[in-house]
C-alpha cells in the first residue's frame, strides 16, 4: 500500500523502474514520472524496459535515457513494476529475484510484489504516482507533470472513458498548473503518426463485421497487412475503439495475428458491458471496458469463440443491468 511505498523510498536509495513489454502511455508516462520524482528526492533511479518505446512517447522528458535490458543486471534496493498484471509482463529475466514494488490500477493484477500498491479506483497509474508525490511531500516539476499527464490522457482516452473521475480531472488540472501544455501532448498522441497508420487502418477497417443485433463488432489484422502497410509499433493504437463510434455498438473486438496461429486480442466496451470478465475466461485480463488476451489456433475458430463469448456476455450484462429480454442476438460469422 501507499504508506509502505513512501517508507521504502524514504529509507532506500537506489531504484529501477520498469513496465510491461509493448509499453503504453500510462506505463511509460508513470515510469518516467516516478523516475523524475525519485531523482528530485535525491535518489538514484533509472527506467529499464525490455521493448522499444513507441515514437509517441519519445518527446517525454527522460525518454531518451530509458535503458533497454533483457535481464536484470544492476543491483537495486528495489524495482518498481508499473502497470503489470504479473511478474512476467515486463519481459525481463530474473526480475523475480529482486525486491519488487508492484504499482497497478487493474482489478485483475496478481499481488506478485514484495510490496503491492493496487488502486483500481485510479484512472491511470499516473494518478497514483501523483498521489505518491503528494504523500511524500515532493514537488510536481514540469517534467513530472508532462509524464503523468501523458499517462492520464492515454489511459482515459482524452478523458472520454468511464474511468475518468473528478479526481482525474483535478490531478490533470494540477499538472497543467505545473506547466503541461495539453495541446502539445494531444498533438504527440493523436496527430503525429506516420502515413503507414492510415494505410493499415484502411485494411483493418475493411474486415469489420457485426453480429445480427448490430451491437458487437470485430475486425482483424493479419501479418500480411502489417508487412504491406509498413506498419510501425503503435501504428494501430486505438483501432479497437473505432467501431464504438457507432451508437449501437457496445463491444468491439480487435484480433491481431502476431505469428501464424497466435493472436493478440483487444476488447473494448461501453457502459455496463464487462469485457475484463470475458478476457479472464481466456486467460487474459484488464478493466471492465478495456481488456485483452492472447489465443492460439485457427483464425476462424478463435474468432468464433471470442465473438460468441462477447455476444453471450453482452446479452447477460444488458439483461441484468437494464432488464431487457434479448433473444435477438444471433451469432453470424461469415
Cα separation, 268 vs 254, whole angstroms? 9
Q: Which is nearer to ligand 5GP, 182 or 238 (CB)?
A: 238
d(C-alpha 23, C-alpha 82), whole Å: 10
Residue 81: other Cβ atoms inside 10 A: 27
Name residues contacting ligand 5GP, limited to 106-145 (CB under 6 A).
106, 108
d(CA 125, CA 26): 6
Q: At closest approach, how far in Å is the CB of 105 from Mn ion? A: 6
Is residue 104 involved in binding Mn ion (CB under 5 A)?
no
Q: Does 293 bind ligand 5GP (CB under 6 A)?
A: yes
Q: Is 155 in the site for Mn ion (CB under 5 A)?
A: yes
Q: Kindly determine how many residues on this chain lie close enough to bind ligand 5GP according to the rule CB under 6 A.
A: 13
CB nearer to Mn ion: give 17 or 124: 124
The verdict on 146 binding Mn ion (CB under 5 A) reads no
Kindly write out the interface string for residues 26-65 of this chain, putting x where it contacts ligand 5GP by CB under 6 A and - elsewhere: ----------------------------------------
Q: Nearest Cα to 263, choosing from 216, 233, 221, 312? A: 221
| Residues 123/105, Cβ–Cβ less than 8 Å | yes
Residue nearest to Mn ion (CB): 26
Q: Which residues of 187-219 are buried (b: 16+ CB within 10 A; e: fewer)?
A: ebbeeebeebbebbbebbeeebbebebebbbbb
Beta strands at 14-19 and 216-221: parallel, antiparallel or unpaired = unpaired
Work out the end-to-end distance of the chain between its first and last CA atoms, rounded to an integer number of angstroms: 49
For residues 81-100, which are near ligand 5GP according to CB under 6 A?
A: 85
User: 301 vs 208, 211, 228, 282, 304, CA distance in Å?
Assistant: 17, 16, 25, 14, 5
Q: Rounding to the nearest 10 degrees, give the CA dihedral for residues 122, 124, 127, 133.
A: 110
Chosen from ligand 5GP, Mn ion, none, partner binding at 26 (C-beta under 5 to 8 Å by type) = Mn ion
Residue 146 binding partner per list Mn ion, ligand 5GP, none, with a CB distance cut-off of 5 to 8 Å that depends on partner kind: none
Contact partner at residue 108 from ligand 5GP, Mn ion, none, CB < 5 to 8 Å by partner kind? ligand 5GP
Residue 203 or 287 having the CB closest to ligand 5GP: 287
Which residues of the shown chain bind ligand 5GP in the complex (CB under 6 A)?
A: 85, 106, 108, 266, 284-287, 290-294
Which residues of the shown chain bind Mn ion in the complex (CB under 5 A)?
A: 26, 83, 124, 155
Amino acid at each position: 500500500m501507499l504508506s509502505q511505498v513512501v517508507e521504502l523510498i524514504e529509507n532506500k536509495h537506489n531504484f529501477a523502474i520498469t513496465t510491461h513489454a509493448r509499453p503504453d502511455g500510462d506505463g511509460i508516462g508513470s515510469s518516467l514520472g516516478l523516475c523524475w520524482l525519485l531523482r528530485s528526492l535525491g535518489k538514484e533511479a533509472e527506467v529499464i524496459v525490455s521493448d522499444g518505446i513507441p515514437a509517441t512517447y519519445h518527446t517525454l522528458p527522460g525518454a531518451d535515457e530509458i535503458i533497454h535490458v533483457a535481464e536484470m543486471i544492476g543491483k537495486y534496493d528495489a524495482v518498481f513494476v508499473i502497470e503489470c498484471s504479473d511478474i512476467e509482463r515486463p519481459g525481463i529475466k530474473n526480475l523475480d529475484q529482486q525486491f519488487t514494488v508492484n504499482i497497478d490500477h487493474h482489478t485483475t493484477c496478481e499481488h506478485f510484489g514484495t510490496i503491492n500498491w493496487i488502486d483500481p479506483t485510479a484512472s491511470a497509474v499516473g494518478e497514483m504516482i501523483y498521489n505518491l508525490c503528494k504523500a511524500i511531500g515532493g514537488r510536481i516539476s514540469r517534467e513530472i507533470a508532462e509524464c503523468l499527464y501523458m499517462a492520464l490522457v492515454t489511459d482515459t482516452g482524452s478523458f472520454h472513458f468511464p474511468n475518468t473521475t473528478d479526481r482525474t480531472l483535478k490531478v490533470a488540472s494540477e499538472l497543467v498548473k505545473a506547466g503541461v501544455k495539453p495541446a502539445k501532448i494531444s498533438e504527440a498522441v493523436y496527430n503525429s503518426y506516420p502515413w503507414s497508420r492510415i494505410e493499415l487502418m484502411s485494411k483493418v477497417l475493411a474486415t469489420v463485421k457485426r453480429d445480427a443485433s448490430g451491437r458487437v463488432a470485430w475486425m482483424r489484422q493479419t501479418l500480411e497487412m502489417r508487412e504491406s502497410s509498413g506498419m510501425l509499433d503503435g501504428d494501430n493504437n486505438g483501432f479497437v475503439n473505432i467501431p464504438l463510434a457507432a451508437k449501437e455498438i457496445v463491444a468491439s473486438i480487435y484480433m491481431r495475428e502476431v505469428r501464424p496461429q497466435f493472436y493478440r486480442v483487444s476488447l473494448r466496451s461501453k457502459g455496463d458491458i464487462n469485457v475484463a470478465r470475458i478476457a479472464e475466461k481466456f486467460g487474459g485480463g484488464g478493466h471492465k471496458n478495456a481488456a485483452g488476451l492472447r489465443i492460439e489456433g485457427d483464425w476462424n475458430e478463435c474468432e468464433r469463440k471470442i465473438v460468441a463469448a462477447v455476444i453471450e456476455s453482452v446479452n447477460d450484462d444488458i439483461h441484468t443491468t437494464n432488464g431487457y429480454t434479448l433473444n435477438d442476438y444471433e451469432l453470424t460469422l461469415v
